[in-house]
Structure 1
């Protein structure tokens, strides 16, 4: 099985975070840390949509797939059940003419939440409903249990500590490997932070991966699984984007 992880396009939160970082938030963070403590900044929302640039990035990746300019041709499509991931996967679904299964383990580290500054804790918020996600991508399908009904939101998957994403990443890999054969090319639209934990699971790390691998908006990485150890084909390919449209 070849597994392609695609980061969603630029979200409105990515824009707000960049503004906050420019203003000094996280300036003491080092490159070795996976991500700065940026749960709280002006304008952050729990489940953000794509920005205008993010939509262009997603459309560019979809065009590249349609024109056979991507280094992969997916046989199966999955997406995180977040708004930005579902918006990103739509051009890919249109190009591949395949359904998209929402994966209950592919959402961002921490889940959908707001940050309580006095307590320095994450407070749970629900995600979108299936009806709302279908408006962004009519090709999405939900696995049993993710939604109680089409007009009720999914739980949002709160994780109070980043370390809770470790078993989730391991579970995602195990479920995908169980469901797919050696010739399948499985594409999952997910998130930059969570992708680090998937890589950690592949590399056999049993704790949070404080080494950070850059994955730009709609950048993708390839993992390959066979009878022996898994291998990494590439990380953060963005040839489908014009240089001025690359963002992180």
Structure 2
């Protein structure tokens, strides 16, 4: 089976570069709704059998056109929301972003028990994210494609943990634009990344 992980469309917080992690969060901007419509067109030819979204409004709004294009409903799933920023929530200054990115980099390199100030550790993020992915992909058959609309930082960390051919360098450098996609294919009991924001990924 194939799992397509999608970052949500643009929000006002994205435009202002605000660390905004707590659901339900802001809705999509007009540009974000256009991105969601374009995403639905791009995925129209895929054999999509289920569309999931996090509990955030922006994720559900991004998923809705994709689901509608395949005659499906969006299934909201717990556990795939954005990394909880704790004391950094609502900030958009350089210091806050530096702390956030440095901490996520440490997680990608294996230091999963380091928490954000007042927020989650990498291990806490992965525990919830991977459990959610296991739940939505259990029992799926060969040839099925599942779309999960999630969030940039948690998505990248989850993909790094899931796919053997995703390196820390790719997860750290491969920042996802709004509606950017990571495509994973199930191989045996594991996953292999086929593409990252449209670029083929080798190895694994």
* Cα separation, partners in 2 of 1:197 and 1:228, compared to 1, 3 Å: same
* Cα separation, partners in 2 of 1:195 and 1:212, compared to 1, 3 Å: farther
Question: Which residue number corresponds to residue 83 of structure 2?
Answer: 109
Question: Which residue number corresponds to residue 65 of structure 1?
Answer: 43
Structure whose alpha-carbon radius of gyration is higher: 1
* Cα separation, partners in 2 of 1:196 and 1:58, compared to 1, 3 Å: same
- Residue 115 of structure 1 deviates from its aligned partner by 3.1
Higher normalized helix content (fraction of residues): 2
Q: Does 1:178 align with 2:156?
A: no
Cα distance between partner residues in 1 of 2:181 and 2:78: 20
Question: Which residue number corresponds to residue 66 of structure 2?
Answer: 92
Q: Alignment length, in residue pairs?
A: 168
Provide TM-score, normalisation by structure 1: 0.59
Assess if the C-alpha contact under 8 Å between 2:50 and 2:67 holds in 1. no
Assess if the C-alpha contact under 8 Å between 2:21 and 2:82 holds in 1. no
Q: Does 1:9 align with 2:34?
A: no
- Residue 79 of structure 1 deviates from its aligned partner by 0.6
- Residue 64 of structure 1 deviates from its aligned partner by 3.1
Gaps of 5+ in 2: 97-117, 200-204
- Residue 213 of structure 1 deviates from its aligned partner by 2.2
- Residue 49 of structure 1 deviates from its aligned partner by 1.0
Q: Does 1:55 align with 2:15?
A: no
Assess if the C-alpha contact under 8 Å between 2:21 and 2:89 holds in 1. no
After TM superposition, the structure 1 = structure 2 runs for residues 106-145 of structure 1, keeping only pairs within 5 Å, are: 106-110=80-84, 115=89
* Cα separation, partners in 2 of 1:170 and 1:10, compared to 1, 3 Å: same
Point out the more displaced range, 222-231 or 183-192. Answer: 222-231
Cα distance between partner residues in 2 of 1:196 and 1:162: 15
Q: Does 1:75 align with 2:34?
A: no
- Residue 229 of structure 1 deviates from its aligned partner by 4.1
For 1:75, what is the secondary structure of its paired residue? strand
Assess if the C-alpha contact under 8 Å between 1:224 and 1:232 holds in 2. yes
Assess if the C-alpha contact under 8 Å between 2:152 and 2:176 holds in 1. yes
* Cα separation, partners in 2 of 1:12 and 1:175, compared to 1, 3 Å: same
Provide TM-score, normalisation by structure 2: 0.71
Q: Does 1:188 align with 2:148?
A: yes
Give per-residue Cα distances to partners, 1:177-213, cap 9 Å, x unaligned: 3242223211001111111121122146xxx987242
For 2:146, what is the secondary structure of its paired residue? strand
Assess if the C-alpha contact under 8 Å between 1:85 and 1:189 holds in 2. yes
Cα distance between partner residues in 2 of 1:98 and 1:113: 38
Cα distance between partner residues in 1 of 2:129 and 2:6: 15
